[in-house]
Structure 1
Amino acid sequence: MILVTGAAGLLGTTLVEQLLAKGYTVKAMYHHKPININHPQLIKIQADLLDVYALADAMQGVIQVYHCAALVSFNPKDAAALFSINVEGTANVVNACLDAGIQKLVHVSSVAALGRIRPGEMITEKMDWTPSTSNSKYGQSKYLGELEVWRGVAEGLQAAVVNPAIILGAGDWNDSSTKIFKSVYDEFPWYTEGVTGFVAATDVAKAMILLMESNISGEKFILSAANETYKHVFETIATAFGKKAPSKKVTPFIAALAWRFEALKSRLTGTSPLLTKETTLTALTKVYYDNSKLLSYLPSFQYTALNNTIVEACNKLLATKA
């Protein structure tokens, strides 16, 4: 019996599908949006990470836990919720694992927890979030969440941590990283020449299962198939959709105007801003991730080519719209 938190998200759903395909019985825990999978070996559980009694109940009969649940937001208004869910929630999961005698935990962190603002440096697992290397409360919350996992390891829990780059896949058009596909489909005209890492949701799930099934513990791993410009990714998505590619370059001056306009509009309308200071600065930054550690620990693992990941996701998204 395996427990997956955050099972309704892009990564959680992908992970559950792979676990079921391997013959595991899975408890899929979700908060608001239920998981859209039906299977005889799937048990759906609605629970809140902040409800320690619900977590204890969810752990009953479980031997392994994949902790995918998290809040991803770069809206300053969500700062308190980020620390509540990503730090306190992770602490609760770790404590529940220790109390239930869980065999092993695989925790989903983020490359944001490594500190992404490091000009001229290749980012590795040896790096950590600091105020000078990150403009993101989200990154800080994921770093502090990692510390809860390492505290659990110190108390005897077997655990591994993954730090995925931007996860791509055919998820909800209006949710998380899949919004990238929707913006290109809607022919959003702007692009940046910023660089970051990208990885397929299927690859992240596969790596997590391999880490769970291994003897590896007390280690964390960057998961990134390739470092690429947002411009290239947008153009590849546009080609796969048969849409017009973004053609207007975002400069630092335009970006500064854009996030300030969105902040003002958000205050006036009460809606979440499409852009924030954090997201615009991140989109302009050139960040390069070293993915060699995972490949050295799991030499049989291979990443899916980024272009193939994008085309496959676009085809699946188009099929859902048909």
Structure 2
Amino acid sequence: MFKDAKFDEALKRKILLTGATGLVGSHILLDLLKQNATLVYALKREKSDLSALKNLFEWYDCYPLLENINWINGDLSSNTVSEVLPTEIDEIIHTAAVVSFNPDDYEVMNKVNINATKTLLNYASKSGVSKFGFISSIAALGRMDASGRYTENSEWVENDSNSYYSKTKYEAEKAVIAANNNGVNTYIVNPGVILGPCDWNKSSGTFFRTGAKGIAFYTKGQNGFVDVRDVSRGMLDVMKNGSSGERHILVGESVPYRKIFSDLCVQFGKKPPRIYSPKWLTELGWRLDKVKSKLKGVPPTLTEETARNANGIFEYDNAKITSRGFEFTPITQSIEDSVPFFKQYYF
């Protein structure tokens, strides 16, 4: 029996994706568009720069798939964003967030990371959305002190070690879990520091920019890292096979920062970091950088929060998802796969 294109489209699973131009969102967008059974609505600001997204699709040899995106112009920081959303959506994947360790950005983080999440959850409840996927962060697990090992059951402890960013992601998580208890099936993933092709002027893309310039100093800190492709696969896997209302840590490896920057520098042909920066020096560094940023009127490169994290030893247990057979990409491989992208588009 003959079926026209409109009939086929009506049968497709309709997914609303936020943050589609960002690091995680762009990779989830790509993976969704590869599935012929999905119809993707991607939310973006009206004047969003799509150059990084276009570079990404070109890099993965999927440029024609850009034509299959149903763009929706809307601002998540606005209370009226729900007015522009489609009336019939099956699932939502919420990746949009402001990632910053600058206390001056707390107000915008509060609007986007917390309030926008609540707005989307309210829309999901009223619209009968069947599943709500939320990209959280290991930061939402809280910081016990300058070190620690974390699982999905780690309890938030209020203290000065928690960044403003972590507080907003934790508050957003609470709203997501509450929505699950009130009838919306919600799925939470907590990625570590995400590495992969993106705009190297934003978020963790700055790791690659730093490696390309070279860095002489290192700290003894350690954190959880994950390949962006694993975050995309992990989010889709959890929404399909995971338990609703629960966290799922997405960390491939807990790696020393020195190892990360050494690998990056080597891949970019620079000398690896070789001078140890003790805690007192990083403390001095963020204070000096704060003064410099005020004088120049630009955001600081090093903040009190990033200096503190640079010296912490953090480990994360990924057994919950790996016990189901999920495999992570080695971080060294992630760096090797990503550096050629930055060489092509940023040199």
**Structure 1's 95 and 216: CA in aligned 2 closer, same or farther, altered over 3 A?**
same
SS of residue in 2 equivalent to 1:49: coil
Alignment of 1:87-102 (within 5 A): 87-102=114-129
Question: Is the Cα–Cα contact under 8 Å of residues 74 and 84 in structure 2 kept in the other structure?
Answer: no
- Name the aligned partner's letter for residue 30 of structure 1: K
Question: Is the Cα–Cα contact under 8 Å of residues 129 and 139 in structure 1 kept in the other structure?
Answer: no
Deviations 1:236-270 (A, max 9, x none): 11121222212222111110110100111222222
Q: Which has the larger radius of gyration?
A: 2
Query: Could you state the TM-score of these two structures normalised by the residue count of structure 1?
Result: 0.94
Alignment of 1:266-277 (within 5 A): 266-277=293-304
SS of residue in 1 equivalent to 2:159: helix
Among 188, 200, 205, the alignment partner of 2:227 is 200
Query: Structure 1 vs Structure 2: percent identity of aligned residues?
Result: 32
Give the whole-Å Cα distance in 1 for the aligned partners of 2:103 and 2:160.
18
Q: Does 1:20 align with 2:47?
A: no
Among 316, 323, 328, the alignment partner of 1:303 is 328
Deviations 1:204-255 (A, max 9, x none): 0001111222362111111100001000011111121222212222111110
Counterpart residue number, 2:259: 232
Counterpart residue number, 1:30: 44
SS of residue in 2 equivalent to 1:112: helix
- Name the aligned partner's letter for residue 310 of structure 1: I
Question: Is the Cα–Cα contact under 8 Å of residues 132 and 187 in structure 2 kept in the other structure?
Answer: yes
Alignment of 1:257-272 (within 5 A): 257-272=284-299
Counterpart residue number, 1:46: 73
Question: Is the Cα–Cα contact under 8 Å of residues 191 and 231 in structure 1 kept in the other structure?
Answer: yes
Q: More displaced, 247-256 or 160-169?
A: 247-256
- Name the aligned partner's letter for residue 65 of structure 1: I
Deviations 1:146-196 (A, max 9, x none): 011112112100011011100000110101101001011011222212010
* 1:145 Cα deviation after fit: 0.5
* 1:39 Cα deviation after fit: 2.6
Q: Which runs of 5+ in 1 are unaligned?
A: none
Q: Does 1:160 align with 2:187?
A: yes
Q: Does 1:320 align with 2:345?
A: yes
- Name the aligned partner's letter for residue 84 of structure 2: D
* 1:34 Cα deviation after fit: 4.0
Question: Is the Cα–Cα contact under 8 Å of residues 113 and 128 in structure 1 kept in the other structure?
Answer: no
Give the whole-Å Cα distance in 2 for the aligned partners of 1:160 and 1:118.
28
* 1:56 Cα deviation after fit: 4.1
Question: Is the Cα–Cα contact under 8 Å of residues 198 and 205 in structure 2 kept in the other structure?
Answer: yes
- Name the aligned partner's letter for residue 42 of structure 2: A
Give the whole-Å Cα distance in 2 for the aligned partners of 1:321 and 1:140.
33
**Structure 1's 26 and 34: CA in aligned 2 closer, same or farther, altered over 3 A?**
farther
Q: More displaced, 72-81 or 174-183?
A: 72-81
Q: Does 1:7 align with 2:20?
A: yes
Give the whole-Å Cα distance in 2 for the aligned partners of 1:117 and 1:194.
15
Q: Which runs of 5+ in 2 are unaligned?
A: 1-13, 55-64
- Name the aligned partner's letter for residue 25 of structure 1: L
Give the whole-Å Cα distance in 2 for the aligned partners of 1:263 and 1:95.
39
Question: Is the Cα–Cα contact under 8 Å of residues 59 and 96 in structure 1 kept in the other structure?
Answer: no
Among 210, 221, 225, the alignment partner of 1:183 is 210
Runs (4+) of structure 1 exceeding 4 A deviation are none
Question: Is the Cα–Cα contact under 8 Å of residues 30 and 47 in structure 1 kept in the other structure?
Answer: yes
Q: More displaced, 215-224 or 13-22?
A: 215-224
Give the whole-Å Cα distance in 1 for the aligned partners of 2:104 and 2:346.
33
Give the whole-Å Cα distance in 2 for the aligned partners of 1:192 and 1:15.
33
Aligned residues: 320
